[in-house]
């Protein structure tokens, strides 16, 4: 049994490593839905995403030419972003009424 601290730190570091380093080696082939859409022919009905211009569009970092760094930075930002959003959300959800301090 790991203590809380060790467990959460290892889980978080594993996530950073997967998104920041291993992601470079991920398959770049289209995923199941995209491939099916392409083969059947309805991929062309896809419109460009409304916010396709965002800095980390498609898991790359705008302005970073090195591919390993580009996807790695995007992955790390995604892990941190998810951690902040999910961390705050679940902390609020788990808070019981009796903890409320006015």
Partner 1 sequence: MHIPDGFLDVQTSVIFTGLSAAGVAVALKGARSQLDEKTAPLAGLTAVFIFAVQMLNFPVAAGTSGHLLGGALAAVLVGPWAATLALTIVLLVQAFLFADGGLTALGASTFNMSIVGVWVGYGAFLLVRKILPKNKASIPIAAAIGGFVSVPMAAFSFTLQYAMGATATFSTSTVLGAMVGTHVLIGIGEGLITGLTVSAVIASRSDLVYGWKNNNQSLEIRNA
Interior CA angle at 52 toward 48 and 55, to 5°? Answer: 165
In the complex, the residues that contact partner 1 under the rule CB under 8 A are: 1-2, 4, 7-8, 11-12, 14-16, 18-19, 22-23, 26-33, 35-37, 39-42, 45-54, 56-59, 71, 74-75, 77-79, 81-83, 85-87, 89-91, 93-94, 96
Q: Give the span between the Cα atoms of 56 and 9, in whole angstroms.
A: 26
CB of 66 to partner 1, least distance (A): 17
CB of 101 to partner 1, least distance (A): 15
Residues 6 or more apart whose CB falls under 8 angstroms from that of 76 comprise 16, 19, 20
């Amino acid at each position: 049994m790991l203590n809380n601290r060790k467990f959460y730190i290892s889980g978080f570091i594993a996530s950073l490593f997967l998104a920041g380093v291993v992601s470079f080696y991920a398959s770049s082939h289209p995923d199941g839905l995209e491939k099916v859409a392409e083969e059947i022919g309805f991929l062309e009905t896809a419109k460009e995403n409304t916010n396709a211009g965002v800095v980390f569009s498609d898991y790359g970092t705008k302005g970073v030419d090195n591919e390993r760094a580009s996807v790695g930075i995007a992955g790390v930002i995604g892990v941190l972003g998810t951690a902040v959003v999910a961390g705050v959300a679940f902390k609020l959800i788990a808070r019981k009424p009796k903890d409320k301090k006015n």
